[in-house]
Structure 1
Amino acid sequence: MAPTASRETYFETGLAVLSSAGYGSLKLSEVCRRLGVTTGSFYHFFRNWADYTDQLLEFWFDSHTRVEVAEVLAQPDPATRLDSLLAYGLSLPYGAEGAIRIWGAIDPKVHAVVSAVDNRRYQLVHDVVSPILGDESARRYASWAVFLMTGYEQTTLTRDVAVLEWAAQQLLESLRREAAIATGAARRR
């Protein structure tokens, strides 16, 4: 067995368990087994299982929403922000996210984190689209994007990232068409 693991590797392993085996398999023994460590190593980093799961959710929120949202918004060019937004959406750990949503359906604390993630991602799309198309269209596209991501996470169909990418491209093409129409109308005035 490996002598130690880092706090971050515990979180990454927890997300990997969620992704590959689902919420029901997220257990201390499985996380330690995958890391090749003893439970003593686990307790070096975490007071108890609840402490770990709280921090795991915070890690998920930080690493897959806060950090990446900031990177998208840091892009100065609107077209580059759109491309970064698409790359962000396609990079999410959808298996883990789907499992976290299932977990959130039975645990109010987890549900609150999932709700915060959804709201932040909605706001991200809104903030990227609003300068291009205005607030009303931004609300529609933000809703569409969140529906697309969460639907992909929850489907029982075979996950096919190429199909998700195609669907996301359709959203972007619709947005770009609407922007071109709005730009043309503004020029004619």
Structure 2
Amino acid sequence: MTKPEAPRSGPAGNIKVTREDWLDLALETLISDGVEGVRILALGQKLGVSRSSFYWYFESRQDLLDQLLEYWRNKNTRFIIERAKRPAPTITQAVLNVFECWVDTNLFNPRLDFAIRTWARSSTFVHEIIDAADNERVLAIGDMFARYGYSQEDAFVRARVLYFMQIGYYSLEIIEPMSSRLSLVPAYLRSFTGREPLDSEIEAFARYVEATGA
């Protein structure tokens, strides 16, 4: 049974603060200020509530941090794996399925991923979680390549090149127009797969990007 919403303290006492309000603000703070900024008192002040509201939903600050990590794992890792497993008639289309994660922040939030990696620099526990997630993502993409006839070694290396190039792209905070990125998609596909993509695949991907508003 879920808990009812905790009442907001102060003049606007009829306004409710939900667990999602706390989590959303904690995520925003983690991304903008780092894990050290995720403090109960500071978050409560921004929400206009007392500390008791926090403990209505969370056992402790560590409980909140654990739930932020779980949110990250469920979002950023889950969709990469889902896209890598999605059936496709060609390897170039299969890679384009994974590319959807790089252009749609509903599937993969690069700012959140970077925030977790920054957090990992000061936490061995989080560093181990990051390593596990990276391995899980690379293995899923490697399995994708293997399904299309690549040797295990070749599939693994191609997966690492594809994945770590994109993570590096985010880490370096490279900014370029989406039109420029789209113009390079065929060349990226040739580099990652050694195959020539179909025009229809490129056109469908461009339509997907346009639909996301990226």
Distance across 2 between alignment mates of 1:136 and 1:120: 16
Within 5 Å, give how 1:102-113 maps onto structure 2.
102-113=118-129
Q: Give the aligned CA root-mean-square deviation in angstroms.
A: 3.0
Within 5 Å, give how 1:80-95 maps onto structure 2.
80-90=93-103, 91=105, 92-95=108-111
Would you say the 8 A contact 1:141–1:175 is kept in 2? yes
Would you say the 8 A contact 2:142–2:158 is kept in 1? yes
Distance across 2 between alignment mates of 1:129 and 1:27: 43
Distance across 1 between alignment mates of 2:21 and 2:184: 31
Matched, 1:72 2:83: yes
Assess, with a 3 A threshold, how the Cα gap between structure 1 residues 128 and 43 changes in structure 2: closer, same or farther.
same
Aligned-partner residue type, residue 149 of structure 1 = Q
Could you say what secondary structure the match of 1:76 adopts?
A: coil
Distance across 2 between alignment mates of 1:113 and 1:71: 19
Aligned-partner residue type, residue 12 of structure 1 = D
Would you say the 8 A contact 1:86–1:168 is kept in 2? no
Assess, with a 3 A threshold, how the Cα gap between structure 1 residues 78 and 16 changes in structure 2: closer, same or farther.
farther
Cα offset, 1:165, TM superposition: 4.4
Aligned length: 177
| TM-score normalised by structure 2 residue count | 0.68
Within 5 Å, give how 1:3-14 maps onto structure 2.
3-6=16-19, 8-14=20-26
Cα offset, 1:114, TM superposition: 0.8
Q: Which has the higher contact order (CA 8 A, sep 6+)?
A: 1
Distance across 2 between alignment mates of 1:81 and 1:70: 12
| Stretch deviating more after TM superposition (25-34 or 146-155) | 25-34
Matched, 1:48 2:60: yes
Cα offset, 1:34, TM superposition: 4.9
Assess, with a 3 A threshold, how the Cα gap between structure 1 residues 37 and 70 changes in structure 2: closer, same or farther.
farther
Unpaired runs of at least 5, structure 2: 1-7, 9-14, 197-214
Distance across 2 between alignment mates of 1:163 and 1:86: 15
Unpaired runs of at least 5, structure 1: 181-189
| TM-score normalised by structure 1 residue count | 0.76
